[in-house]
Amino acid sequence: MSQDYPHPFGKFASRFRKFRGELPKVVSNMARNEFVRNFKKQGHEGEKGGFNKWKPTAKKKKGILIVTGRLMRSMRPEPRLNEARVVSNLPYAKPHNEGFEGTVRVRSHKRNRYGKKEEKYTTRSGNSRTKVVNVKKGSGKVKAHSRKMNIEARPFMTTSKTLLDDIEKHAFDEIEKIWNNL
């Protein structure tokens, strides 16, 4: 009678298939974290290394591409079978990432007019004070029109050398774990 001996490569193959199925999800998350880091650093790392700072805007607020943080939060990992992807559903993500020069149509809309007004108030101690507040003074209708736009390219979804090195290190570490645990 012969006995069946378990072949070590069968174990390796099943673990490797599981690893290969999970790899796109892990890589997508690593890429998303790198892209969010680009927002916080206000630039991106090139494919060959070296940091490329974004060109500053005329209006300096929280960050160059951060006003509400919606663009940064909209990026989400969307892995497929053999593909790691990070997507954003916002229409202005592509023009900001790749740049845009052209004409866009602006729909008709309502524009509010604001003015400043001094208001008097009394403190708890009974002193009279004045403060300046913004008050809506009226509104007007803006007709539909076209506008020439030139948006500077500020790449935030880039494949950097650091990201590629991290992905490679993760893949080799996981394969080594699988191989050593036979």
What was the pLDDT predicted at 30?
94
- 79 and 160 part of one domain: yes
Residue 16 lies in a domain: yes
Has residue 146 been placed in a domain? no
- DSSP 8-state symbol, 82: T
User: Residue 124 is part of which domain span?
Assistant: 113-138
Total structural domains within the chain: 2
Q: Is residue 41 located within the same domain as residue 128? A: no
CA 86 to chain CA centroid, Å, is 9
Same domain, 49 and 89: yes
3-state secondary structure of 73: helix
Which amino acid is residue 33, in one-letter code?
Answer: N
| Predicted confidence (pLDDT) per residue in 144-169, tens digit | 999 999 998 999 898 888 899 999 99
- Give pLDDT, residue 94: 93
Question: 70 and 131 share a domain?
Answer: no
Q: Is 137 helix (H, G, I), strand (E, B) or coil?
A: strand
Residue 2 lies inside a defined structural domain of this protein: no
Residues 70 and 123 in one domain: no
182 versus 147: the higher-pLDDT residue is 147
* pLDDT computed for residue 101 by the predictor: 96
pLDDT in tens, 5-30: 666 677 778 888 888 889 999 999 99
Residue 1 has pLDDT above 60, yes or no: no
| 129, 79: one domain | no
Whether residues 134 and 158 fall in one domain: no
For residue 75, give every residue at least 6 positions away whose Cβ sits within 8 Å of its Cβ, in sequence order, or none.
32, 35, 36, 86, 87, 88, 93, 157
Same domain for 44 and 13:
yes
Residues 65 and 15 placed together within one structural domain of the fold:
yes
Whether 78 and 157 share a structural domain = yes
Angle between helices 161-180 and 8-41 (to 10 degrees): 160
Q: Domain for residue 62, yes or no?
A: yes
What tens digit of pLDDT does each residue of 24-56 get? 999 999 999 999 998 888 888 877 778 888 888
More confident residue, 144 or 67: 144
Q: Is there a domain that residue 148 lies in?
A: no
Q: Closest by alpha carbon to 54, among 42, 62, 65, 63?
A: 42
Per-residue model confidence as pLDDT tens digits over 106-123? 999 999 999 999 999 999
